[in-house]
Amino acid sequence: MKSPASKLPWMLLLAAILIGLAAGTWGAVAKIDYAWRWNRIPQYFFYHGETAVKIPFDGRVDTILPQSDKVKVGLLSETNQRVTVTVDKGLLKASKGDDLFEGDTVGFVRQWHMGPLMWGLWTTMWLSAASSIMALFIGLITGLCRISKNLTLRGLAVIYVEFIRGTPLLVQIFIAYFFIGTVFNLNRNVAGVGALAIFAGAYVAEIVRAGIQSIPRGQMEAARSLGMSVLQSMVHIILPQALKRILPPLAGQFISLIKDSSLVSVIAITDLTKSGREIITSTFATFEVWLTVAAMYLVVTSLLSQLVFYMERRFAVSD
């Protein structure tokens, strides 16, 4: 007879191991005399910066109207064109009657900006999202070709899958950018998304094939016996059932894709990884930045797996 209390010692052991690991790491780092500077990191998420407000023409400062925390500045051009700009109080750099040339600074406004880490995260997310959607599409088509009766389609699918699975992603990215990208004059984002999509598509194809083949033959026969065409049977009967089964491996593939997208930093796409490298060159806070970057990847991937977990439960209604 198992009692729920018997869990406690094991949880304590788990906690002890985790604390031991953390303490060990801490001790090892203390030995090499590394100065932690975590306070440098937040500014790379968001920072409060000053943006210059510039005069759009040659002209002069006509009116200055102070308000509670802003200053409204009326600008008059030589051709009597009038423009009003707003700057922050105390950051006004011109006075009434000043003659200014086009592009001169009238004053500054203070605003919140996204730092390189957030921009990098954004780039990583759209890169992964775009290549996931393309990979799903490529994988679906290739997976269907893979089980087709037509020898040509099957042959093409097999060659594609074998070629992609047999070569390293890093090499594929280099080929996509430096070879195909040069020949067809592609920009780096297209080459990057393309390489990731084609890479993931090969794995998705295998997942789709396995999913479709796992549906009992009788399902297709029942659909066909009702007069549905192969395509109708696939769309209404086989694929919905297969999708439910392939959701967990598919999610694993997309999580992999998010992580693999870090490799596109080698063709100078400023994703999360490359942002991290750039921050290190200006702060030398190597440990902090890489730990932060790792944590950010972890947040994105765990959110995705939670989402898939939720979808799995939704689909489970017919079980």
Binding site for other proteins (CB under 8 A): 216, 218-219, 221-229, 232, 236-237, 240-241, 244, 317-319
Cβ proximity to other proteins, 183 vs 231, nearer residue? 231
Cβ proximity to other proteins, 148 vs 305, nearer residue? 148
Min dist CB 308 to other proteins, Å, is 18
Q: 136: which 2 tokens?
A: 């799903």
Min dist CB 307 to other proteins, Å, is 21
Locus of tokens 């489970």? 316
Min dist CB 224 to other proteins, Å, is 6
Min dist CB 229 to other proteins, Å, is 5
CB atoms within 10 A of CB 291: 14
Cβ proximity to other proteins, 65 vs 222, nearer residue? 222
* Strand bridging mode 70-77 / 59-66: antiparallel
Collapse the DSSP code of 179 into the 3-class scheme (helix H, G, I; strand E, B; otherwise coil) and give the result: helix
Q: 225: which 2 tokens?
A: 């016996």
Q: 178: which 2 tokens?
A: 């430096």
Cβ proximity to other proteins, 74 vs 248, nearer residue? 248
Give the DSSP letter of residue 180.
I
Min dist CB 206 to other proteins, Å, is 23
Locus of tokens 């990208």? 181
> Which strands make up the sheet holding 99-100, listed edge to edge?
82-88, 70-77, 59-66, 99-100
Cβ proximity to other proteins, 30 vs 235, nearer residue? 235
Min dist CB 226 to other proteins, Å, is 4
How far, CA to CA in Å, does 221 sit from each of 70, 144, 224, 226, 288? 74, 17, 5, 9, 59
Cβ proximity to other proteins, 28 vs 222, nearer residue? 222
Min dist CB 233 to other proteins, Å, is 9
Cβ proximity to other proteins, 114 vs 220, nearer residue? 220
Q: How many helices (H) and strands (E) does the chain have?
A: 11, 6
Cβ proximity to other proteins, 51 vs 229, nearer residue? 229
Choose among 255, 165, 241, 172: nearest CA to 201. 165
Min dist CB 222 to other proteins, Å, is 4
Give the DSSP letter of residue 263.
G
Min dist CB 268 to other proteins, Å, is 46
E-state strands within 78-208? 82-88, 99-100, 105-114
Q: What distance in Å separates the CA atoms of residue 183 and residue 199, rounded to the nearest whole number?
A: 20
What phi and psi, each to the nearest 5 degrees, are found at residue 149?
-80, -20
Cβ proximity to other proteins, 81 vs 229, nearer residue? 229
Choose among 120, 107, 129: nearest CA to 272. 120
With contact defined as beta carbons under 8 Å apart, do 52 and 105 qualify? Answer: yes
Q: 70: which 2 tokens?
A: 């802003």
Give the DSSP letter of residue 92.
B
